[in-house]
Amino acid sequence: MFFPLSHLILHYNQKPKNQSMKKNGFLLLLFIPVTLLQAQELQPVTLKQPDKTSGATIMQAFENRASVLEFTEEEISPDDLSGLLWAANGINRPGTGKRTAPSAMNSQDIDVYAVTKEGVYLYDAATHTLQPVVAGDLRTFVANRQANFAKAPLFLVLVSDLSRFTRGDESQKPVWGACDAGIVSQNISLYCAGTGLATRPRASMNQEKLREALKLKESQILILNHPVAYPAK
């Protein structure tokens, strides 16, 4: 049985009868899995409705689009986070559930994971919410060898679930998934270019550690990721 962290801290801070009890209480805290304690605090995030009148014109976004190498640590605002995720792969036709990004045979195979310092969330386009996946800072897994990127406040990780392609040759499905991820990636890049955010499409990430942490199925393929931040001054 695991007890709430606040209860354990309160219990530990009470004056012990002897130093042995104090030592045992400290050891108990050490053996409690940190991820379980963090998971109690990771909650779903209801996003604001995106402002569809914001940003530059599409031609200005093309003019501004660039892949940057420096990322600041300032948190992404609720407005920008909402618009970014909706632009990436949100629902733009509620009557049919179709997305801002097309997919092969409308399979909607791309899942967008938001990786922050608090934990990892899965974007749920149907409810425009972020659903908790795992607590803890996994940004270094996504940054991989480019460790300086890990300070970006947000990574969007694009995963294709090949099982959603219900027909077609098996050898074609990874190609379709890669194409679909590329379209979502371009949506992210153009949104950032049009709203003053900085990003960079990347294929590099620690695939093994991320697959394990996110508990991905065999059919789910990690394809691309985007660090997202405000530009360096």
pLDDT digits (tens, 9 = 90+) for 173-196: 999 999 999 999 999 999 999 999
Confidence (pLDDT) at 233 = 77
The percentage of residues in the chain with a pLDDT greater than 70, rounded to a whole number, is: 83
Average pLDDT over residues 33-52: 75
**Buried-state track 96-132, b at ≥16 Cβ within 10 A, e below 16:** eeebbbebbeebbbbbbbbbbeebbbbbebeebebeb
| Confidence check: pLDDT of 26 > 50 | no
* Cα 121 → chain centroid: 5
Confidence (pLDDT) at 40 = 55
Measured in Å, how far apart are the chain's first and last C-alpha atoms?
49
Cβ atoms of 154 and 228 closer than 8 Å: yes
Kindly compute the dihedral angle of the four CA atoms of residues 180, 181, 182, 188, in this order, to the nearest 10 degrees.
Answer: 120
Tokens at residue 223, please?
């394809």
pLDDT in tens, 97-156: 999 999 999 999 999 999 999 999 999 999 999 999 999 999 999 999 999 999 999 999
Confidence (pLDDT) at 91 = 98
Among 8-12, 83-87, 166-170, which is the least confidently predicted range?
A: 8-12
CATH topology of domain 45-229: NADH Oxidase (3.40.109)
Half-sphere exposure of 204 (CA within 13 A, CB side): 10
Confidence (pLDDT) at 67 = 97
How many CB atoms sit inside 10 A of residue 42's CB? 20
Give me the amino acid identity at 213: A
Confidence (pLDDT) at 207 = 98
Task: Give the start-to-end residue ranges of the domains of the chain.
Answer: 5-32, 45-229
Give the pLDDT band of residue 35 (cuts 50, 70, 90).
very low
Confidence (pLDDT) at 37 = 45
Confidence (pLDDT) at 2 = 26
Q: Which residue has the tokens 């007890």?
A: 3
